Chains A and B, each alone.
Chain A
Amino acid sequence: MSDSPAGRWPGDDQTADDQTADGAPRRVVGTPPPGRSLLGDGAADVPAAPPRELPSDPEDLPSAKRAERVVAACFMVAFLAGLAFIVAYFVFPVHTLDGVARSNLGLGLSMSLVFLGLAAGTTIWVRRLMPDVELTEARKPLRSSEEDRAAFEQTFEEGADASQFVKRPLIRRTLIAASLPALAAPILLLRDLGPLPRKDLTFTVWRPGLRLLKADANTPVTPGSFSSPGSMITVVPDGYQDKFDALAKAAVIIIKFAPGQVEYTNADHPVPGKVVANWTVDNIVAYSKICTHVGCPAALYEQTTHHILCPCHQSTFDATRGAAVIFGPATRPLPQLPMTVDAKGFLVARHDFTEPVGPSYWERP
């Protein structure tokens, strides 16, 4: 197929036996000369076939015949399942939960059968139809031979000499010097990935007079409406209801206590184990909802034990004692938000938290 009798390129010095010098096929007319048998006697003319490396058939032929039918059946199952997949795609609409359920089942089941059928069929084919063989191949040691190593070493050293790299330290050193800023450049280009943290972690958006809104409902809170002891609700700063960047640090929970449950202090700053009385309204205390461990919302409030439990890693805070840590990996209490009421009687912040909220960091003041 690849050698075309018609075309011959100049310089092509292959001459086939049955072709004349100008490319025309040699024609044999009359009785063939002796010594050349058309039918052949085998050994002399035909080269010996190389011995087989792999047997051509499995040992147990009847069992193989049975296995062949099983394999064929598996492949037929796969074929039918493949058709079923195509049908299922068009027959089962989506857009409703029930529809999606049916479509998922239909498409998935047919796809599973396609793969299972092909897999099982192929496995039986290999195991039962292909003859058992166990062949051996030699491993050469991975270490190259001494000659190869020596030759490589010579090539490498000759090349190094030819490159002049070793002989001319000035080139070498200046090349290294030249590449250093170039290597630093990609790192430098990443500088604008983000702003520097500066003091951003120290403050939240809470400021004097900012109203506390009930999360999602976005309505303000009066102490009178939040008067049942044991109540708890999440609040967000007014104007930041949809701003996740602000909420990720400014979310707050307010809890209503019965008289006498809370351990107050009269100081105007956080005291370990105490709630700052000046920052509460009517036994309503506000704590940051952002856990001081790694920042999950610590929202699980147990009315009976007054414990705030963070569901992520089980840091537990005592809400009657300034959210002091009583269990778990958190190391600092939840900061207390200073509260007061505004002229209309709604709960507002007095000012921002007096310490950073959320997880610890190296520069934390």
Chain B
Amino acid sequence: MTARRHHPAARYLVVLLGLLLVGFGYALVTGVGEASAAPGGAAQNQGQIAQGRVIFLAVCASCHGVLAQGVPGVAPSLIGVGSAAVDFQVSTGRMPSREPVEENPRKPVLLHPWQIRALAAYIASLGGGPAIPSAAQVSQSGAHVGLGEQLFVTDCAQCHNFQGAGGALTYGKYAPPLTASTPKQIYEAMLTGPEAMPVFNNTTITPQQKRDIIAYIVQTRNEPNPGGFSLGRVGPVTEGLVVFLGLLLFMVFAALWITARHGKAHE
């Protein structure tokens, strides 16, 4: 096993092993079971926050500072960002960031859900901020998809494209596609305004309007393409490529076939 110690995944395995040991060890010692997401139970909350702090120190403090105060030029302060921001960043895999980039991409998630909840609770305890939405808050039953469409094209499509395919921003940033985002993550992103995205708090876009927008995004990305292959729904650019690489090429072959001299050898 030590022969593989320089493997890039090794550091993650070590961290995971350490976390698991600490977590289980702590659980054994304090007698606290799997942390629940429900608020209430001060003793439970404190336990979760403490767990979160351990995870934070192991995974996040190297960039965000031991007190989550941020390191200028490296990572922002996390005081006041709220549990919603933590849940969004970590559950989409954006955090922990692997290397300094213009924009942190979605990547495979490192932490378990209970670890994410603990981490979120800890950060929330530092300075408050928007909370993780409940299941009811992101439920799409009764949503007005039509209003969601209008809100989406007015305030979201200019970055994320008509149906959430994403788009280019400046200096290497981009608005990511919304194809893989869960309703909770979409809600949290609107609420917290990650990276370059503006903040749409609950008084700017109300929770009901957020649900309408989420319903529109989910329905649109799930709906079938009745006209055939959608070419990624990119639009006229890919349609133009099909004209030249598909239609015209087909016609050229047809023309070659029709005009070929049957059986005559060519010099």
Please name the residue on chain A nearest to B149 by beta carbon: A216
Contact of B199 among A97, A100, A231, A297 (CB under 8 A): A231
Contact of A128 among B198, B201, B262 (CB under 8 A): B262
Taking a contact as CB atoms under 8 Å apart, the answer to whether A97 and B198 are in contact is no
Taking a contact as CB atoms under 8 Å apart, the answer to whether A132 and B262 are in contact is yes
Taking a contact as CB atoms under 8 Å apart, the answer to whether A305 and B171 are in contact is yes
Interface membership of chain B positions 213-246, coded 1 if the CB is closer than 8 angstroms to chain A and 0 otherwise: 0000000000111111000000000000000000
Interface membership of chain B positions 184-224, coded 1 if the CB is closer than 8 angstroms to chain A and 0 otherwise: 00000000010111111101111001000000000000011
Taking a contact as CB atoms under 8 Å apart, the answer to whether A100 and B262 are in contact is no
B residues near A108, Cβ cutoff 8 Å: 228
- Smallest CB separation, A330 vs chain B (Å): 14
Taking a contact as CB atoms under 8 Å apart, the answer to whether B224 and A101 are in contact is yes
Taking a contact as CB atoms under 8 Å apart, the answer to whether B196 and A302 are in contact is yes
Chief secondary structure at chain B's binding surface: loop
The reply on A110 being an interface residue by CB < 8 A is no
B residues near A255, Cβ cutoff 8 Å: 198
Measured CA separation A126–B258 after assembly (Å): 8
Measured CA separation A300–B166 after assembly (Å): 12
A residues near B150, Cβ cutoff 8 Å: 215-216
Taking a contact as CB atoms under 8 Å apart, the answer to whether B204 and A216 are in contact is no
Please name the residue on chain B nearest to A297 by beta carbon: B158
Interface membership of chain A positions 325-359, coded 1 if the CB is closer than 8 angstroms to chain B and 0 otherwise: 00100000000000000000000000000000000
The reply on A123 being an interface residue by CB < 8 A is yes
Taking a contact as CB atoms under 8 Å apart, the answer to whether A232 and B254 are in contact is no
- Smallest CB separation, B115 vs chain A (Å): 28
Taking a contact as CB atoms under 8 Å apart, the answer to whether B199 and A302 are in contact is no
The reply on B27 being an interface residue by CB < 8 A is no
Please name the residue on chain B nearest to A232 by beta carbon: B198
How many residues from A make CB contacts under 8 Å with B?
44
Contact of B198 among A101, A214, A301 (CB under 8 A): A301
- Smallest CB separation, B69 vs chain A (Å): 17
The reply on A288 being an interface residue by CB < 8 A is no
CB within 8 Å of B: which A302-319 residues: 302-305, 307, 309, 311, 316
Taking a contact as CB atoms under 8 Å apart, the answer to whether B169 and A309 are in contact is yes
Measured CA separation A316–B263 after assembly (Å): 62
Taking a contact as CB atoms under 8 Å apart, the answer to whether B260 and A127 are in contact is yes
Measured CA separation A231–B155 after assembly (Å): 11
Measured CA separation A327–B198 after assembly (Å): 21
* Given A216-B147, A300-B159, A304-B195, A309:B170 Cβ within 8 A: yes
The reply on B151 being an interface residue by CB < 8 A is yes
- Smallest CB separation, B266 vs chain A (Å): 15
B residues near A60, Cβ cutoff 8 Å: 263
Taking a contact as CB atoms under 8 Å apart, the answer to whether B226 and A100 are in contact is yes
Contact of A231 among B193, B262, B263 (CB under 8 A): B193
Taking a contact as CB atoms under 8 Å apart, the answer to whether A101 and B154 are in contact is no
Q: Which residues of A contact B (CB under 8 A)?
A: 60, 97-98, 100-101, 104-105, 108, 119, 123, 126-128, 132, 214-217, 224-234, 255-256, 297, 299-305, 307, 309, 311, 316, 327
Q: Which residues of B contact A (CB under 8 A)?
A: 147, 150-151, 154-155, 158-159, 167, 169-171, 173, 193, 195-201, 203-206, 209, 223-228, 254, 257-258, 260-263
Please, could you name 26 A-B residue pairs with CB atoms under 8 Å apart, sorted by A? Answer: A97-B226, A98-B226, A101-B227, A105-B228, A123-B254, A127-B257, A127-B262, A214-B204, A215-B150, A216-B150, A217-B205, A226-B203, A226-B204, A228-B204, A230-B198, A232-B198, A233-B200, A234-B154, A297-B158, A302-B169, A302-B196, A303-B193, A303-B195, A303-B196, A311-B167, A327-B170
